[in-house]
Structure 1
Amino acid sequence: MPIRIADNLPARRTLEAESVIVMGETEAARQDIRPLRIALLNLMPDKITTETQIARLLGATPLQIELELVRLSGHVSKTTSAGHIAEFYRPFRDVRAERFDGLIVTGAPVETMDYGEVTYWDELRQIFDWSQTLCHRLFTICWGAMAALAHFHGVPKHALGAKAHGVFPHLNRAPASPWLRGMSDIVPVPVSRWSEVRRDDLPETVKVLLDSDEVGPCLVDDPAHRAIHMFNHLEYDTLTLDTEYRRDGERIVPRHYYPDDDPAQLPRNTWRTYGHQLFGNWINEVYQTTPFDLNAIA
């Protein structure tokens, strides 16, 4: 089954070129089926790239997905055109009375700041609380994951002396977990961050699923909040780390990314399969456990 997005969303052309089945509003209305409603709170500066990456992984699952793009009500993006935001994104204040099968919260380029210094911190905390009442499952990524753990559990984040940047092998610590179904014992994951969450700071109710000796926890399960939190980026494209490396003035070469660690060579994508598995497992778990009647989500 396909992913349902706006007909003129830029991601549509990219996904169709990759043979991801995309459905428009008219086609979706003809199917006698309840799609899964997934809200994406996109906090990344390059919103078009991020919405394409997430839609690609959701659209590869065997279920019909209705993707709702959500933005903060009290924050104006300076890096994505106002026209794109106005056409495709709904402010949180307009969706807060609605129910969703799942909510995905992305990272944001504010990880070196204290949470209280982030201008939209209060609204984000309201969204996390809302996810516990009108959303069935929560999936947070990078800074969004750190912020969620700080909000729900008081877990601090710690600044790194140097940017963690590259593709690092992670140990699968819970192969029986539904979130890691089908994954190998070692999972390569792109990492790109200036801060970290440490194992010792996590409460006993939060279980580490993927872990690295080099860069710490990657994926944790937070069953008390029906959430998984991923500190890294299985959604990344092949060249995303390369783009960041060039953008940052080629100061920190991403580790384990280029062949022979040579930035002149084209990187190889070793994580794509695991990104599809993680998002597919999440969607499957949402589908298996969400009520058929959206009004029953509470």
Structure 2
Amino acid sequence: MPVKVNNQLPAVKILEADNIFVMDEARADQQDIRAMNILVVNLMPRKMVAETQILALLSNTPLQVNVDFLYMASHKSKNITQNHLDTFYKSFAEIEGKYFDGMIVTGAPVENLAFEAVDYWGELSDILDWSRSHVYSTLHICWGAQAGLYARYGTPKHALDKKLWGVYHQTVENPKHVLFRGFDDDFVSPHSRNTETYASELPHDFEILSYGEKAGLSIAVKKNLREIYSFGHLEYDRMTLDFEYQRDKSVFGAQIVPDHYYPNDDSTQKPKMNWASAASLFFSNWLNYAVYQDTPYDLRDLAKYEYFNL
């Protein structure tokens, strides 16, 4: 949450010079407070696991957050019951008349397919197009990031020589950016993908915020913060990569373990969890600075914003 102070306090100018957000009294008096409305487009096969991971990160803030989960009506889920979807999820038809402060589009294990070959691609494309006038800021994760860039800008994905799989070091390219407020100079994040996006092919109005020597492009944003693209999986819990290893070791071989994950690369040992603080801070910063501070009080006003019609 921002610090509210008298705008004549000398420390305000010092903090603002370091890009530390301080709300002066005039702005605070004009600000209405309400709950944030977040839509989660959950494309992950283990939907209940993804639900828990994302809710844990969204809850780590003093803001009240209302969360709706969205499923693809054009896709038959194999790892969750229809009763769970009917009870806890909504279809696009049920929410397309509503407005949201933020939206999260998760990853999905379909990256080896062409985008148009994914059975719900048409529906997802419609949702991304709808979000331009109905969502203030969208956070895309892994394949969801690649899908968002392709649907909106035609940015392609490129096959890797081998799967990027493990926990990788990444740098903070702009320490003063609001999404990395409170971060150290570098951090680690899980990645699990067979494809990548080239930084050189991003739209001109994008900024690269995080990069890794091995992971490549990690986090990039549209400069107005309406679109955030994270190519890793900061939301993963301690055992997610272990689940993937146990599931896939018969295919890749038991000796092919995720990089920098198990102590001494020994899959019998408990994995290290060394990205939790970065994940918590990143999601909190997104909610606070990209969503809460700028979204209109009346979400119906979203369609009136000039840049929603660009």
Partners of 1:220 and 1:252 lie apart in 2 by 29
Q: Does structure 2 conserve the Cα–Cα contact (< 8 Å) formed by 1:180 and 1:278? A: yes
Q: 1:223 corresponds to which residue?
A: 223
Q: CA deviation at 1:104?
A: 0.5
Deviations 1:44-70 (A, max 9, x none): 000000011000000011100000011
Q: CA deviation at 1:186?
A: 1.1
Q: 2:46 corresponds to which residue?
A: 46
Q: 2:208 corresponds to which residue?
A: 208
Which of 269, 274, 281 aligns to 2:285? It is: 281
Q: 1:21 corresponds to which residue?
A: none
Deviations 1:213-232 (A, max 9, x none): 11211110113671100011
Query: Which structure 2 residue ranges, 5 or more long, are not aligned?
Result: 2-31, 304-310
Q: 2:296 corresponds to which residue?
A: 291
Q: CA deviation at 1:204?
A: 2.3
Partners of 1:291 and 1:131 lie apart in 2 by 15
Q: Which moved more, 1:124-133 or 1:72-81?
A: 72-81
Q: 2:245 corresponds to which residue?
A: 245
Query: Which structure 1 residue ranges, 5 or more long, are not aligned?
Result: 2-31
Q: Does structure 2 conserve the Cα–Cα contact (< 8 Å) formed by 1:245 and 1:251? A: no
Cα distance change, pair 33–201 in 1 and its aligned pair in 2 (3 A): closer
Q: 1:187 corresponds to which residue?
A: 187
What secondary structure does 1:248 align onto? helix
Partners of 1:151 and 1:37 lie apart in 2 by 24
Q: 1:165 corresponds to which residue?
A: 165
Partners of 2:119 and 2:225 lie apart in 1 by 25
Q: Which amino acid is 1:233 matched to?
A: H
Q: 1:261 corresponds to which residue?
A: 265
What RMSD over aligned residues (CA atoms) do the two structures have, in Å?
A: 1.5
Counting aligned pairs with the same residue, the percent is 43
Q: 2:27 corresponds to which residue?
A: none
What secondary structure does 1:289 align onto? coil
Q: TM-score, normalised by structure 1?
A: 0.87
Q: CA deviation at 1:34?
A: 2.3
Q: 1:138 corresponds to which residue?
A: 138
Q: CA deviation at 1:265?
A: 1.4
Q: Which amino acid is 2:247 matched to?
A: R
Q: 1:107 corresponds to which residue?
A: 107
Q: Which amino acid is 2:221 matched to?
A: D
Partners of 1:115 and 1:122 lie apart in 2 by 10
- TM superposition outliers: structure 1 runs of 4+ over 3 Å: none
Partners of 2:199 and 2:256 lie apart in 1 by 25
Q: TM-score, normalised by structure 2?
A: 0.84
Partners of 1:216 and 1:73 lie apart in 2 by 34
Q: Which moved more, 1:39-48 or 1:146-155?
A: 146-155
